[in-house]
Amino acid sequence: MSTSSRRVPIESQSVDAPLSSTAVFLVLTVTEVPGAFENVRATLASISDILKNVAFRDLDAALSCTVGIGARVWVEVTRRPLPRELHSFRPVNGAHHSAPSTSGDILLHIRADRRDLCFEFERQVMDRFGGSVRVVDETVGFRYFDVRDLLGFVDGTANPVGPELREATLVGEEDPTCAGGSYIVVQKYTHPLTEWRTLSTEQQEAIIGRTKADNIELDDADSGQKSHKTLATITVDGVEHGILRDNMPFGSPATQEFGTYFIGYSRRLWVIEQMLQRMFIGDPPGLHDRLLDFSTAVTGSTFFAPSAALLDAMSDDPEPAQPATP
Ligand code: HEM
């Protein structure tokens, strides 16, 4: 977890990094070139040094980076057993909308209050990766007014805070080799904003489950149609399981691309998967999240963010035994 001390603010893998004014979501796959895995491993082990190198140039900009590693490459890259729940993103196919699964071995979630620091950090990391990775998607997100998404709603209010944040996001004793890490799900959504704007404010508020101007929670309609807020609330045996979201708007008015990059951190992958089931299939099935009538999921991948200690320790691991040559 990141420290509040102004003196040592630079820490990689800070899941709870402060909300930033800009972010980069970089999804990569490991290539087939000889030595690719070795290089990816060495680069990831040096992330905290690269971070220190760039972040120190303006501590107030609070540069942070969280690395996620996907199931396909986890064992080879980390030389550790798979985190208990880690598997690749499982597509969800509802009657009207689908959440596709797209490739992704490595995620870099880079956050800062200065775009140039994100750029410089990403440049240095990509130089180190060289040909060992291929870029699947790079999305640059920005803070929109008072943490609003491009649909105009304040996004992130219900995030856990204080001790609840750690409980909701960091794996504990249930999986000792992965303790201190976090599951991450990312999805890139695009919005047909012109259609969204044909709805009245009241219709939009009913879809989200909060008022637009002052962000007050609303009850669901008597019809049985649940709002996004309600469908994304997971309660089991009376216990509500929260996740940490750090969604960011992205896009370009010039090309008419408008979107939300969803990123969710959780101690329990099944919680995010259950949210997606309830959104895409509906609760009851058939009554899907109406937010999806105005939001199309174009990517979907799952990662595990190891603790900073595990990431750094990768540089000290012994080489694996070479298979004997016949
Ligand atoms: C187009 C994509 C999305 C947009 C624009 C969006 C927007 C919002 C907004 C405006 C809220 C209400 C304010 C807040 O508490 O943050 C909200 C709540 C929430 N969303 Fe989303 N969301 C999106 C996708 C998702 C996805 C894919 C998930 C999970 C898989 C999710 C999980 C949640 C959760 C857990 C809450 C809080 C519910 C509560 O009140 O306890 N969202 N979202």
Domain boundaries, the chain: 22-316
Could you read off the pLDDT of 239-277 as tens digits, one per residue? 999 999 999 999 999 999 999 999 999 999 999 999 999
Percentages helix, strand, coil for the chain (3-state, rounded to 5) are 30, 25, 45
Q: How far apart are CA 113 and CA 100, in angstroms?
A: 31
Measured distance CA(93)–CA(77) in Å, rounded? 31
Task: Return the half-sphere exposure (C-beta side, CA atoms, 13 A cut-off) of residue 311.
Answer: 26
- Which residues are marked as active site? 155
Provide Rg for the chain, Cα atoms.
Answer: 20
Signed CA dihedral, 220, 223, 224, 227: sign only: negative
How many other CB atoms are found less than 10 A from the CB of residue 166? 16
Q: How far is the CA of 208 from the centre of ligand 1 (A)?
A: 8
**pLDDT at position 5 over 70:** no
Q: Which atom of ligand 1 is nearest to the CA of 189?
A: 1
pLDDT tens sequence across 214-246: 999 999 999 999 999 999 999 999 999 999 999
Q: What is the per-residue pLDDT for 6?
A: 52
- Ligand 1 centroid from CA 232, angstroms: 7
Regarding pTM above 0.85, the answer is: yes
* pLDDT exceeds cutoff 50 at 151: yes
pLDDT value for 319: 67
Which residue lies with its CA nearest to atom 9 of ligand 1? 155
Q: What is the mean pLDDT of residues 130-156?
A: 98
Please report, rounded to a whole number, the percentage of residues in the chain having pLDDT higher than 90: 90
Nearest Cα residue to 67 out of 249, 319, 262, 312? 312
Cβ–ligand 1 distance for 151 under 6 Å, the answer: yes
pLDDT given for residue 8 in this prediction: 47
Residue 18 pLDDT > 90: no
For ligand 1, whether the C-beta of 244 sits within 6 Å is no
CB-side neighbour CA atoms (13 Å) of 317: 19
- Residue-level pLDDT at 322: 52
